[in-house]
Amino acid sequence: MDLMELLKQAQRLTNETNTDTEVPGVERTMSQVLQATKEFHSRVTQMGTNDLQAHILLGSKGVDLPKLTQKLESLSARQTFEPIDPVAETNVQAYLKNERENAILSVIDETNRSIFKSVERQKWRCVYSEWGEEKEAMLNALVGPNQQDFPVQFHMMPTAMADEPTPYSQLNGQEQMYAEQIAIHNRSNILGRQGPNLLTTFAQLVQGSFNDEPVAEMWNVLDFMTAMPPVSSSIDPIKNRQTSPQFVDQARTYLERRYRTYMKKFIIANLAKARRGGIPNVYNMVRSYVSVTLQEQRALFGLHDVNNGQPLWPHVYYSLRSGDMDAAALYLKESGTCPDLLTLLTLRKNGDRDNLLVKLEGQLKLEYNSRLRSCSDPYKKAVYVVLLACDPLFTNAELMRSIDDFLWLQLCILRREDQSENNLEQLTFSGLQSLILEKYGENYFNAREKAPLYFQVLTLTGQFEAAIEFLARTEKYRTHAIHMAIALNEISMLGTPSSVEQPLLSSEPDDPKPMKRLNLVRLIVMYAKCFERTDTKQALEYYYLLRHFKSEKGTNVMLTCVCDLLVENCDDTMLKLVFGTEDKKNSLRYGGIYAEFQMQECDKYSLAEMVGDEFTKRCDYDSAIELYFVGGQLDKALRLVNALLAQVVHQPTQNGSVRNRLGNFIKRLDAALTVRKSDLEPQVVVTYTVLSQVKEFFDLYHKGALRSALEILTNNHLIPANSSEVDECVTNTKRMGAEVIKVLPDILLAAMDIVYQEYVKLMDSNEKASGFLDESKCLNKEPAVKHLRDRAKAFTNMAASVPYRMPSTTNQRLVQLEILMH
């Protein structure tokens, strides 16, 4: 290469490296390039190969190395757990920062301590376990074949076991007592007698046997709130409760009686100060109570009007609080003050509702709004609020010392929906219920720790369903809640949803707010499921309570529950327990615990049929057939046996196989068909009869009794004896059921195999006879060979003439065997 060509290549390379950027080019001499190369090489060797590869990797992923280095340098190197420097109280920002760090450090420290304790406990648990195993191994090693080497004293304890031990009951003492009362109540209903109120019975049982005061108090509240005339089952309990003022009156009466009891106990505890005297009535009891509670001068500050040396309005208020209007009117009459209020109280006590009462209420409300709202006497204000049912926002800590006081005052100022006044604030029954259930709720009442209190508040406001649902969510009171719901439902006072598939607590679209409905079916089923295996009799007693409910499919819920019980626990013991002992003569069962609960639509035959259908859906055909026998459903048993026989009838018999088990059912069906046969469908019976004969045919075929087997088919006209009978057999096949058609290919193959084996035996005997030159015997067997060939031809013709599609392998095998016979 000459210098000119080298110059041209250099210029071409220079032109290719030129770019369109405005950055000026850098020209370096060879010495400068060599120096830059050495500097770059020294930097690379100093950084190391690993650092270079790391830089290349991070750079390829888009990481900005200079910025990353700056961020790492800006991180604080202060230790995380180093002491926090104190700051001045005026430095708010630093103070908050220290508090935040202190909180984080305390959480970390507490977590570390808890983890350390947990690990320590686990360590010692493992150590003790290992020590126990070592001690056991050492003791076992010391005891050799001769017990005298290490004498151990054995104490023989005599034991006695019942011949038929029963499973351990899952019910505790209280649950068993509840179950006994349920059984007694059910017996009364079954016999058509009107038994005692179940709710009252439960309340008396708890009061006398449980020795649990909170539970007894809850039952007493519920019993008192439902002590009303019987309610028709056709009336919706929710709507009846919301529109009936009796529930409000019952709640007030209960709170007033309980307050009278409290006052009596308080006076007895302070007899020296109470100065009791006079006739033992509410009037004198209130006088004694006020003399004790308001004996100090500071307690009399701000009170108005004095009667016989004592403040008037506390006496009037506590008389109303105790539910005695006569005592309140007597105090007002003795003082001579507020004659309008005395007149109002007299009219209200007599139950009058005339124009005078309305006029007095209007005047007294004006007086209260104009003068008494700022009154310093809380008792006087409370009396006006109670009698006029106004000012629902009135509160006073001195008067409302408990939730009972607050609830009583709210119940006193309730107004019905049709009595609301647009110009005044009003509190309705539904408004009070929403206040208790939704606004305050469980957290306000600390319901988890004070469950009886919250239950009583909900019950006194007519929210039975919400109260029971809350109680059912607590382990301690769940049993009582379930029986409360049962008792309310038996007296038609429990609101239940329209569908049994609803949640435990729900509401209907047209229900008044905030009323809820309790799914009693779900509640009872969840309860009874726990012991239905060990205490089946008691479980059925609870399921009997659901006999009036319908499932989504329209079936009786009682039947559905017992059906589920039998499906999950179906064995001979359970069938004998529920349906009784079987009579071998007529295959019927007598006795059983379910016989006690039979009704027109819930008899044991309907139950057995339902359980059998469920087993059929689950493909447990043996149990389904057994239940059909129990329910007397021979038609369904025959159909199921036919379907199963069509699948296994051609198989050889084996111990434990489906075909072997079907043989036992066939014997029972044959015995039952001799007794009843007229009410069964003829087609099903004919199919069963043919399949039974086919089963016998295959039994003989597998045993080697070929001639007897072939006679069974010939007698039943399933296969032709010659070509002339083909049409007759085909016509006969068309009248048979689908189960027989399904087995027909196997029948033809087995029959052809029998004919072929007969042909082979005949030909073998011909060959032996020809070896001895006995031609007469050979000639005599010629008609028999012709008959076998004709019959084989009839089989193939029948397979081709049957109006059903035969498997191709069947046709091939039949033709093959026929050809082998020629």
pLDDT at 224 over 90: yes
Distance CA 163, CA 433 (A): 58
Closest C-alpha among 735, 724, 711 to residue 802: 735
- Can you read off the two tokens belonging to residue 263? 């006052």
Instruction: Please provide the average confidence, as pLDDT, over all residues in the chain.
Output: 82
Residue matched to tokens 């051609």: 650
Question: In 228-324, which ranges are continuous DSSP H helix?
Answer: 237-243, 246-269, 271-274, 282-293, 312-321
Half-sphere exposure at residue 116, Cβ-oriented, CA atoms within 13 angstroms? 6
For the ranges 103-112, 493-502, 797-806, which has the lowest average pLDDT?
797-806
Closest C-alpha among 167, 792, 188, 4 to residue 533: 167
Secondary structure element (H or E) that encloses residue 789, with its range: helix 782-801
pLDDT at 35 over 50: yes
Of residues 195 and 352, more confidence is placed in 195
Predicted pLDDT at 802: 83
Distance CA 274, CA 291 (A): 6
Predicted pLDDT at 773: 39
Instruction: Tell me if the pTM is above 0.75.
Output: no
In 363-376, which positions are buried (b, 16+ CB within 10 angstroms) versus exposed (e)? Answer: ebbeebeeebeeee
Tell me what percent of the chain is helix, strand and coil, each rounded to the nearest 5: 65, 0, 30
Secondary structure element (H or E) that encloses residue 582, with its range: strand 581-583
Predicted pLDDT at 25: 57
pLDDT band at 157 (very low <50, low <70, confident <90, very high): low
- Can you read off the two tokens belonging to residue 424? 């005044």
Max mean pLDDT among 39-48, 123-132, 307-316, 675-684 falls in 123-132
Q: What is the mean pLDDT of residues 466-494?
A: 93
Max mean pLDDT among 321-325, 337-341, 770-774 falls in 321-325
Secondary structure element (H or E) that encloses residue 759, with its range: helix 738-771
pLDDT at 244 over 90: no
Of residues 452 and 27, more confidence is placed in 452
Q: What is the mean pLDDT of residues 804-814?
A: 84
Distance CA 741, CA 649 (A): 12
- The three-state secondary structure class of 589 is strand
Of residues 719 and 18, more confidence is placed in 719
Predicted pLDDT at 373: 81
pLDDT at 229 over 90: no
pLDDT at 569 over 90: no
Predicted pLDDT at 234: 83
How far does the chain reach from its first CA to its final CA, in angstroms? 100
- Can you read off the two tokens belonging to residue 310? 């004592």
Cα 29 to Cα 16, 17, 36: the distances in Å are 20, 17, 11
Predicted pLDDT at 88: 64
pLDDT band at 163 (very low <50, low <70, confident <90, very high): low
Secondary structure element (H or E) that encloses residue 590, with its range: strand 588-590
pLDDT band at 100 (very low <50, low <70, confident <90, very high): confident
pLDDT at 266 over 60: yes
For the ranges 325-339, 444-458, 489-503, which has the lowest average pLDDT?
325-339
pLDDT at 430 over 80: yes
Do 588 and 639 touch, CB atoms closer than 8 A? no
For the ranges 8-17, 253-262, 732-741, which has the lowest average pLDDT?
8-17
Predicted pLDDT at 250: 92
Please list the residues that pair with 310 across neighbouring strands: 307
Predicted pLDDT at 46: 61
For the ranges 34-38, 401-405, 657-661, which has the lowest average pLDDT?
34-38
DSSP conformation class of 307: E
User: Which pairing describes strands 310-311 and 588-590: parallel, antiparallel, or unpaired?
Assistant: unpaired
CA angle, residues 610, 616, 620, in degrees to nearest 5: 120
Secondary structure element (H or E) that encloses residue 363, with its range: helix 355-370
From the number of C-beta atoms within 10 Å of its C-beta (0-12, 13-18, 19+), residue 550 rates as middle
Predicted pLDDT at 145: 47
pLDDT tens digits along 606-641 = 888 888 999 999 888 888 988 888 888 888 889 898
Of residues 218 and 338, more confidence is placed in 218
Max mean pLDDT among 162-166, 253-257, 291-295 falls in 253-257
The identity of residue 38, as a single letter, is: K
Distance CA 820, CA 792 (A): 10
The beta-carbon contacts of 577-584 under 8 Å, at least 24 apart in sequence, are 577/536, 578/536, 578/540, 578/604, 579/604, 579/608, 579/630
For the ranges 153-167, 302-316, 692-706, which has the lowest average pLDDT?
153-167
Do 735 and 685 touch, CB atoms closer than 8 A? no
Closest C-alpha among 196, 258, 194 to residue 225: 258
Q: What is the mean pLDDT of residues 517-534?
A: 93
From the number of C-beta atoms within 10 Å of its C-beta (0-12, 13-18, 19+), residue 315 rates as buried
Distance CA 653, CA 670 (A): 20
Predicted pLDDT at 219: 95
pLDDT at 486 over 90: yes
Distance CA 820, CA 789 (A): 10
pLDDT at 648 over 50: yes
For the ranges 31-45, 483-497, 790-804, which has the lowest average pLDDT?
31-45
User: Which pairing describes strands 581-583 and 588-590: parallel, antiparallel, or unpaired?
Assistant: antiparallel
pLDDT at 150 over 50: no
Cα 177 to Cα 172, 487, 715: the distances in Å are 9, 15, 67
Closest C-alpha among 373, 377, 394, 267 to residue 322: 267
Predicted pLDDT at 713: 84
Do 503 and 137 touch, CB atoms closer than 8 A? no
CA angle, residues 25, 31, 32, in degrees to nearest 5: 40
Of residues 560 and 654, more confidence is placed in 560
- The three-state secondary structure class of 326 is helix
Distance CA 776, CA 259 (A): 124
Predicted pLDDT at 166: 58
Name the CA dihedral angle for 743, 747, 750, 755, rounded to a multiple of 10 degrees.
-170
Max mean pLDDT among 55-59, 83-87, 125-129 falls in 125-129
pLDDT at 518 over 90: yes
What sign results for the dihedral spanned by CA atoms 84, 85, 89, 95? Answer: negative
